[in-house]
Amino acid sequence: MMLTGAEIVMECLLREGVEIMFGYPGGAILPTYDAMTKYPQIRHVLVRHEQGAAHMADGYARATGKVGVAIATSGPGATNLVTGIGTAMMDSSPIVCITGQVPRGAIGSDAFQEIDITGITLPITKHNYLVGDVRELAYVIKEAFYIARTGRPGPVLIDIPKDVQNEKIEFEYPEGPVRLPGYRPPSMASEEQIQAALDLIHQAKRPIILAGHGIVMAGASQELRELAERAQIPVALTLLGKGAMSEQHPLVVGMMGMHGAAACNYAIQEADLLIALGMRFDDRVTGNLKTYSPNSRKIHVDIDPSEINKNVKVDVGIAGDVRTVLAQILPGLQSMTHPEWIGRIRDWQEDGNERDILNYDTGDRLLGAQVINDLWHYTGGDAITVTDVGQHQMLEAQYYPHQRPATMLTSGGLGTMGFGLPAAIGAKLGRPDEEVWAIVGDGGFQMTMAELATAMQEKVKVNIAILNNAYLGMVRQWQEFFYEERYQATPMFNPDFVKLAEAFGIPAMRVTHRSQVEESVRFARSHETTVLIEDAIEKEDIVYPMVPAGADLHNMIRRPKPGEKQG
C-alpha cells in the first residue's frame, strides 16, 4: 500500500484507536489535513486557538483514560500548544501533539514559520520527535502513543517536516509490542517491600491515607476503598485525587493542602503513619517541608521512581502501579480499628463545620461557595466538573463532593488559567452521555472564551458557570492578606457575559440571588446546546482555610467563628 507521510499519520492514528482529534490547520501541516479527507472515521474538531486544542485533548484524556490528540502547524501554531503541553506534563495527562514543520532543507534557515518546537518542548514532554525520514514515521507514532499512555502518562510531541508528509512510500504498519531500551515502567513491589508496608500499617495508631491522581489514573478506587475500610484508615485527597474515593464516605476527611480542610491538615500533622498513594508531595500539599508531618513513618507508592524520596523522605518507597501494589498489600492486611484517632478527626471536622460560610447568615450576598454547593445539590453530585484556576477552583474542591473518579478535572500542577472551557469541551466529546459543567472565573474564562465558537460549530453540549466577581479573585486575596490590601492590577473590566454568549448563539442567564441557582440548572438542562450561566457573586469573598506559601501545614488562616476576630 503506497501512502504519503500524511496518509501514514492518519492510518496510524486510526490503528491506535483514535476517534477524535483537536486542531487548527496551517501551511506546514496542510498535507495531513488534506489526508484527513480520506479518513472520515476520525473526527476533527476545529478550535479557535491551538492552546484550546491542547486543553481539549487533555480534557478528553482525563475524562476517558485514552490518549488525546492535538494537531497544529509550525511556528506560532506549534508554540501556541506549549501551555497546554506544560499543563498535561505537570498533571501526567496522556496526549500526543502532532505539529507540521518546514521542509527538511529549510530547517535552520529561519524560514517562514520555522521554530525549534522539539527544543522548546523538551523540558515539558515525556518525549518528543523530529521525524527526518518518512520510513520512520509509523514507528515513531506507535512509540509516541506507547510512551504517552504507559508508566507515568504524559505528553509526547511529533514534529513532521512538510516534505516528509508529502513523500510517498510503501506503508507497512509495525506489528508487535513496542520495545524501547531503558524504558521499563515498574509495576509490582517486592515481597520485602509489601511486608515492610504491612508492618507499618499494623503498628500504626494514627494512620492516614493520602490518595492522589494516580489512584484515578490507575483505576484503583476499589482497592483504595478496601484498604481504608478493612483497616479503618481515614483518607485525605489531593486536588487531582478528588473522586478517587466517594467524598461522602465516612472515612474521607476531605482535600489536603493550601486550601484543604483544616481537619485534614491537622490529621496529617498529627499522624504516626502516612500512606501516600499516587501523589507526589508537591508544595501546595505539604507546606513547609521541615515541619511536614514530623512524627510519622511514611509509605510512598508511585509509578514514577523519581518521585520517591524527591520531596519527602519515606520509610518504605515503592515504585509501581498503585493498583497492582494495593492488590499485593490487601491479602496480608488485617482488620483494624482506630476509634480514638477517628474521634479526634471528627472533633476537628465539627470545628470546621462551625466556621463554614454556608452556616452563616449572608443576607442578600451571593457567594461562590453557595453557587458551587447548590450546583452539587441540583446536579445530584454526579456531573463532570471542569474548572479553571483560582478561587472558584478551590471552592469547587471544597463544596462539590465527588462520588466517582475522573469527574473533577482541573489544572493542578501548572495552574493554567483558561483550561476550563476547552477541557470541558474535550471531556464532553469523550463522554457524551455525561452532564458536563465548566466552572470558571471571569478572568480565566476570557483567556479561552473564543472556544465558545468551537462548542457551537461542533454542537457540543457544555454547561458553563462563570463565577464573576469582577476581580482576579485569588490574586486579590493574596494582596489582601500579604500585600496590605494594595490591589494592583486585579480589578477587572468585564464584558456583559450574557450578551457575549448571545452573540455566539448561546442561551444565557444571569444569577444575582441564591434562589436563582436552581432555576439556572433547570435552564441549562432545558437546552441541547451549550449554555452559559453568569453568577454575579460577592466581589471580595475569601477562600478559607489558607496555608500561606511556605508556612507550616497546620498554621492555617481560618475563617473566624461568629464573634471571633481574624487571627
In this predicted model, what pLDDT tens digit does every residue of 286-330 receive, in sequence order? 999 999 999 999 999 999 999 999 999 999 999 999 999 999 999
- Res 170: pLDDT: 97
CA-based diameter of the chain, in Å?
Answer: 79
- Res 131: pLDDT: 98
Please compute the mean of the pLDDT values over residues 417-427 and round it to a whole number: 98
Cell readout for 440 is 470558571
Element of type H or E holding 99: strand 95-101
Known catalytic membership, residue 112: yes
Element of type H or E holding 468: strand 463-468
Which of 7, 16, 50, 143 is catalytic? The answer is 50
User: Can you tell me which residue has the cell 504519503?
Assistant: 4
Burial degree of 528 (CB within 10 A; 0-12, 13-18, 19+):
exposed
For residues 355 and 358, what is the distance between their CA atoms, to the nearest angstrom?
9
Quickly state the pLDDT bin for 565 (edges 50, 70, 90).
confident
Three-state DSSP class for residue 36 = helix
Please compute the mean of the pLDDT values over residues 335-364 and round it to a whole number: 95
Q: Is 498 left (phi over 0), alpha (psi -120 to 50) or beta?
A: alpha
Quickly state the pLDDT bin for 66 (edges 50, 70, 90).
very high
Known catalytic membership, residue 474: yes
- Res 567: pLDDT: 56
Statement: residue 38 has pLDDT above 70: yes
For residues 349 and 250, what is the distance between their CA atoms, to the nearest angstrom?
12
- Res 362: pLDDT: 86
Which of 1, 38, 41, 112 is catalytic? The answer is 112
Cell readout for 554 is 497546620
Please compute the mean of the pLDDT values over residues 416-431 and round it to a whole number: 98
- Which residues are 252's β-sheet partners? 235
Please compute the mean of the pLDDT values over residues 84-101 and round it to a whole number: 98
Which of 19, 113, 492, 504 is catalytic? The answer is 113
- Res 562: pLDDT: 78
For residues 260 and 13, what is the distance between their CA atoms, to the nearest angstrom?
41
Which of 66, 126, 142, 162 is catalytic? The answer is 162
| Cα-Cα end-to-end distance for the chain | 74
Quickly state the pLDDT bin for 561 (edges 50, 70, 90).
confident
Known catalytic membership, residue 449: no
Which of 10, 256, 474, 546 is catalytic? The answer is 474
Q: What's the pLDDT tens digit per position in 131-157?
A: 999 999 999 999 999 999 999 999 999
Cβ atoms 125, 154 nearer than 8 A: yes
- Res 566: pLDDT: 65
Cell readout for 223 is 482497592
Q: Is 182 left (phi over 0), alpha (psi -120 to 50) or beta?
A: left
Q: Which residues contact 545 (CB under 8 A, 6 or more apart)?
A: 259, 260, 261, 262, 265, 556, 557, 558, 559
Using a cut of 0.85, tell me whether the model's pTM lies above it. yes
In Å, how far from its chain's centre is CA 220?
A: 17
Share of the chain above pLDDT 70, in %: 100
Cβ atoms 231, 206 nearer than 8 A: no
Known catalytic membership, residue 101: no
Domains (range + CATH), the chain: 2-170 (3.40.50.970), 191-349 (3.40.50.1220), 358-536 (3.40.50.970)
User: Can you tell me which residue has the cell 515503592?
Assistant: 318
Cβ atoms 305, 151 nearer than 8 A: no
For residues 277 and 299, what is the distance between their CA atoms, to the nearest angstrom?
8
Known catalytic membership, residue 50: yes
For residues 515 and 511, what is the distance between their CA atoms, to the nearest angstrom?
9
Q: What secondary structure does DSSP assign to 476-490, as a single string?
A: HHHHHHHSTT---S-
For residues 517 and 515, what is the distance between their CA atoms, to the nearest angstrom?
6
Three-state DSSP class for residue 101 = strand
Pairing mode, strands 43-46 and 20-23: parallel
User: Can you tell me which residue has the cell 450574557?
Assistant: 498
Three-state DSSP class for residue 254 = strand
